[in-house]
Amino acid sequence: MVALSDENFTARAEHLREIAEESIGALSGDRCLMVGSGTGHNTIEFGRSYEEVYALDVVERDFPAIVDHAILADGTRLPYDDGTFDLSCAISVVEHVLPPENRYLLVEEMVRCTKPGGYVFFQIPNGRFPLELHTGLPLIHWLPGGKEFAIKQGYTTLEQVHIPSRKALTKWVADTGAEVLVSRGFTYPSDTIPKYHAVYDALKAVGLFQVFPFGNVVIGKVPEQ
């Protein structure tokens, strides 16, 4: 797969922030939590509007300097009190939670740790996108047994990835008692991809990404008490 540049990652993070702000309004508050923060562009882009940035990952990571409180922890068992954060985000994380049966727990824990009236933000890839986004293989995941075949061919990262549908993720958020504000597909703008911009723009112009969005976003609001 073609590697993304720093600029591509930053532009993607900005796009996700814009999606969040369309429904939440300008991001601001005391504390935000980035679950499965990785090393960071989304953490920087979302975190910069909060007084304190908390980040955690289940794997040892070099968190960006914007993070005030970093820990090694599992997002399905968050070590925070109820109602701690104004915003809790999991960006490209839910599909990596293992075992996959625990994905709902991650959602539930994030809602628990978010303040009444606060927000949870989830982004996942679209498991029906024509390119399998973790390997770059076209259409393989559409074929019955295709994922297992790809794993046997050496694409072992697929063993660790279990992408829920948007419908499933939306239901998980609603099942926690949060109000679902947004549940929709999205496609990154052209400046977020490393090359082939003309092809990308042409596919976008003919509406391919309306049918097969790149990813999905679900935003929930934790009920006021």
CA–CA separation, 221 and 218 (whole Å): 10
Are the CB atoms for 37 and 21 separated by under 8 Å? no
Residue with smaller CB distance to ligand SAM, 84 or 203: 84
In the complex, what is the shortest distance from the CB of residue 128 to ligand SAM, in angstroms, rounded to a whole number? 19
On whether the CB atoms of residues 130 and 211 are closer than 8 A, the answer is: no
Find the shortest distance in angstroms from Cβ 136 to ligand SAM: 15
- Nearer to ligand SAM (CB atom), residue 9 or residue 149: 9
Q: Which is nearer to ligand SAM, 168 or 208 (CB)?
A: 168
| Least gap, CB of 198 to ligand SAM (angstroms) | 27
Cβ 34 to ligand SAM shortest distance, Å:
7
Least distance in angstroms from the C-beta of 24 to ligand SAM: 18
Buried-exposed string 184-209: b where 16+ CB fall within 10 A, e elsewhere: ebbbbeeebbeeeeeebeeeeeeeeb
Whole-angstrom distance, CA of residue 79 vs CA of residue 55: 12
Alpha helices in the chain (DSSP H): 6-24, 41-47, 103-112, 146-152, 166-175, 197-205, 208-211
Binding site for ligand SAM (CB under 6 A): 35-38, 42, 56-59, 74-76, 91-93, 96-97
**Residue 67, amino acid:** V
Distance in angstroms (rounded) separating the CA atoms of residues 128 and 27:
30
Residue 50's H or E segment, with its range, is: strand 50-57
Residue 97 or 163 with smaller CB distance to ligand SAM? 97
Residue 157 or 210 having the CB closest to ligand SAM: 157
